[in-house]
Amino acid sequence: METGPPNDFPRDARLDENDPVWRLLARAPLPEPDAWFAARTLARCRYEAPSVEAETFSPARFARIWRWALGSGLALTLALALVVTHIHSEKAEKQRKVQEAFEIMASIDTDSDSSSTSPWQDSSF
């Protein structure tokens, strides 16, 4: 009864096993990692790749992004409102000053109109 090695390619494996080089290589097997390899690798994964969530969608990630987006949006809106109010009040102040200036100028004009009866301009002299 023939039994082959348990892999995907029994015929090729059988050819390999007949080769003395192949059998010799088997005497120097692959070295094994130490007992703490898995634990250290897991720690390194945690440290170097903070979260797989960064590259994929997850509800927790969405909630975090949403919280940040909401906070940032509110802050931005508040800042914009302050800036707009400030600009608007400055404009109103400027306009009020201009209006006052016009009123003064208008009153000066009225005064100069009333000086038409000035003795300096009276031709009767």
Distance separating alpha carbons of residues 93 and 87, to the nearest angstrom: 10
> Is the Cβ of residue 58 or residue 95 nearer to other proteins in the bound state?
58
In the region spanning residues 3 to 22, those forming contacts with other proteins, defined by CB under 8 A, are 3-10, 12-13, 16, 19-22
Q: What dihedral angle (degrees, nearest 10) is formed by the CA atoms of 101, 102, 105, 107?
A: -110
> Is the Cβ of residue 24 or residue 118 nearer to other proteins in the bound state?
24
Identity of the residue numbered 37: F
Q: Which stretch binds other proteins (CB under 8 A): 53-61, 78-86, 87-95, 117-125?
A: 53-61
> Is the Cβ of residue 27 or residue 118 nearer to other proteins in the bound state?
27
- 17: Cβ contacts below 8 Å, ≥ 6 apart: 5, 23
Cα-only R_g, the chain: 46
Backbone angles phi, psi at 50, to 5 degrees: -50, -40
Q: Which stretch binds other proteins (CB under 8 A): 36-44, 65-73, 82-90, 106-114?
A: 36-44
Under the rule (CB under 8 A), what is the footprint of other proteins? 1-10, 12-13, 16, 19-22, 24-33, 37-38, 40-42, 44-46, 48-49, 51-56, 58
